């Protein structure tokens, strides 16, 4: 990826999409770990300033952080918001399968393949469902909720600072346990399904240590020019 060209493209797209300086991404995030120590966080975005897309963030046991993004525009925007050691622009797709979903990145899944079995809704997920959606995704609510969220679920935050002066807010509306997952990265199996531990270091917060698929709205506020 040519970083300068991609960054300029993301800046133009972001400015046009933001309008008020606020970007909203609606979709799902799946996070899980493996016996090899590699942790995987997959974003499945139904609505965003860049349209519908999927991406994946991977951190291996040595701490190397990789972003797999479907376009240079998405890669530039995400890598300016989070921190990575490597950024790769590859096709990323997802599809529903019986009891869960499958994700592939790279030609024929050469960069990542993942199969995820979705389980039940835990008590916290039922509690989140009871919060009206407008409140659950309001940045004022998410600021107040952040200290509580980090105590309830270690490593998780609902508000914080992102890259390049941006502010980011996570409004989770429900969550489901991931009952099982398997994945390969660059053709190598990651091993048995495990907790997402240690926490990933892409941004100001991590996905929950217990693997979950969460429905959420992510709000990113751009700095004033």
129 in a domain, yes or no? no
Residue 17: what pLDDT? 45
131 in a domain, yes or no? no
152: CB partners within 8 A, 6+ apart = 124
**Contact criterion met (CB below 8 Å) for 168 and 137:** no
107 in a domain, yes or no? yes
Bond before 198 cis per omega within 30 degrees: yes
Total tally of structural domains belonging to the chain: 1
Domain with 41, as residue range(s), is 3-13+28-118+174-217
Strand partners, 79: none
Q: Write down the number of H helices and E strands in the chain.
A: 5, 13
Residue 152: what pLDDT? 83
pLDDT tens series, the chain, 225 aa: 434 434 444 453 444 343 458 999 999 999 999 999 999 999 999 999 999 999 999 999 999 999 999 999 999 999 999 999 999 999 999 999 999 999 999 998 999 999 999 999 999 999 999 999 999 999 999 999 999 888 888 888 999 998 888 999 999 999 999 999 999 999 999 999 999 999 999 998 889 999 999 999 999 999 887
The gap from C-alpha 94 to its chain's centroid, in whole angstroms, comes to: 14
45 in a domain, yes or no? yes
43 in a domain, yes or no? yes
109 in a domain, yes or no? yes
Strands (E), 77-131: 86-89, 92-97, 100-105, 112-118
145 in a domain, yes or no? no
127: CB partners within 8 A, 6+ apart = none
169 in a domain, yes or no? no
Question: Cα–Cα distance between 194 and 61 in angstroms, integer?
Answer: 13
């Amino acid at each position: 990826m040519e970083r300068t060209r991609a960054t300029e493209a993301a800046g133009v797209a972001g400015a046009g999409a933001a309008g008020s300086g606020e970007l909203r991404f609606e979709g799902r995030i799946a996070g899980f770990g493996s016996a090899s120590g590699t942790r995987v966080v997959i974003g499945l975005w139904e609505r965003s300033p860049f349209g519908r897309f999927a991406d994946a963030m991977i951190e291996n046991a040595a701490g190397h952080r990789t972003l797999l993004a479907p376009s240079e525009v998405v890669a530039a925007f995400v890598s300016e918001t989070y921190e990575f050691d490597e950024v790769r622009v590859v096709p990323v797709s997802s599809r529903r399968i019986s009891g869960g979903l499958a994700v592939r990145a790279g030609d024929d899944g050469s960069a990542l393949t993942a199969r995820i079995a979705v389980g039940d809704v835990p008590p916290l997920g039922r509690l989140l469902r009871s919060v009206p959606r407008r409140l659950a995704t309001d940045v004022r609510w998410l600021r107040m909720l952040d200290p509580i969220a980090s105590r309830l679920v270690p490593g998780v935050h609902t508000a914080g600072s992102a890259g390049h002066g941006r502010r980011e807010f996570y409004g989770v509306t429900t969550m489901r346990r991931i009952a099982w997952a398997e994945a390969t990265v660059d053709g190598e199996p990651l091993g048995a399904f495990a907790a997402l531990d240690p926490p990933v270091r892409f941004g100001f917060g991590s996905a929950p240590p217990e693997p979950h698929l969460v429905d959420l709205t992510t709000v990113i506020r751009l700095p004033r020019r």
